[in-house]
A and B are shown apart, each in its own frame.
Chain A
Amino acid sequence: MSETILVVDDEEAILFAIREYFNAHGYEVDCARELEEAEALLGFIQYAAVIADLRLTGINGAEGLELVSYVRERCQATNIIILTAYGCPEVEGEALKRGVDVFLHKPKPLPELAQIVFGLLKQKSKQKRNT
Chain B
Amino acid sequence: MNERSLLDEVLGPGGLSVVFQPILEARRATWRLFALECLARGPKGTNLEPAQILFEYVRRKRAESLVDRACIRAALDAAVSLPVKTQLCLNIHASTLGRDSQFAKFLSETAQNYSVPLSDLTLEIVEHTPYWNGRSFLATLDGLRASGVRIALDDFGIGLSNYSMVLDCRPDYIKIDRYLIKGCHRDIHRRMVIESIAQLAWKMGAGAIAEGVEDNADLEAVTRSGVYMVQGNAFSPPLAPSEVVANHQIRGEYSPLLLAGGKAASD
Contact surface of A with B, Cβ cutoff 8 Å: 10-11, 30-37, 39-41, 43-44, 56-58
Contact = CB atoms under 8 A, between A and B. Distances in A.
Contacts of A40: 47-48, 53-54, 56-57, 60
A10 B61 CA distance: 16
Contacts of A10: 1-2
Given A40-B47, A41-B47, A34 B56 contact: no
Nearest to A31: B47
Interface string B47-63: 11010111011001100
Interface string B64-108: 000000000000000000000000000000000000000000000
A37 B1 contact: no
A13 to B, nearest CB: 12
Q: Size class of B's contact patch?
A: 10 to 19
B1 A36 contact: no
Contact of A33 (B6, B53, B60, B61): B6
Contact of B52 (A11, A44, A58): A44
Given A32-B47, A43-B52, 11 more contacts: A11-B1, A33-B6, A34-B2, A34-B5, A34-B6, A36-B60, A37-B48, A39-B56, A39-B57, A40-B56, A56-B1
B55 to A, nearest CB: 8
16 contacts: A10-B1, A10-B2, A30-B47, A33-B2, A34-B2, A36-B60, A37-B6, A37-B47, A37-B48, A37-B57, A39-B57, A40-B48, A41-B47, A43-B56, A44-B52, A44-B56
Interface of B: 1-2, 5-6, 47-48, 50, 52-54, 56-57, 60-61
B127 to A, nearest CB: 17
A27 B1 CA distance: 26
A10 B54 CA distance: 19
B1 A41 contact: no
A35 B1 CA distance: 13
A107 B156 CA distance: 50
Contact of B53 (A11, A35, A44): A44
Given A44-B52, A58-B1, A36 B57 contact: yes
Nearest to A35: B60
Nearest to B54: A40
A57 B53 CA distance: 21
A34 B57 CA distance: 10
A23 B81 CA distance: 42
Contacts of A35: 60
A120 to B, nearest CB: 24
A43 B60 CA distance: 11
Contacts of B48: 37, 40
Contacts of B57: 36-37, 39-40
A33 B56 CA distance: 15
A31 to B, nearest CB: 8
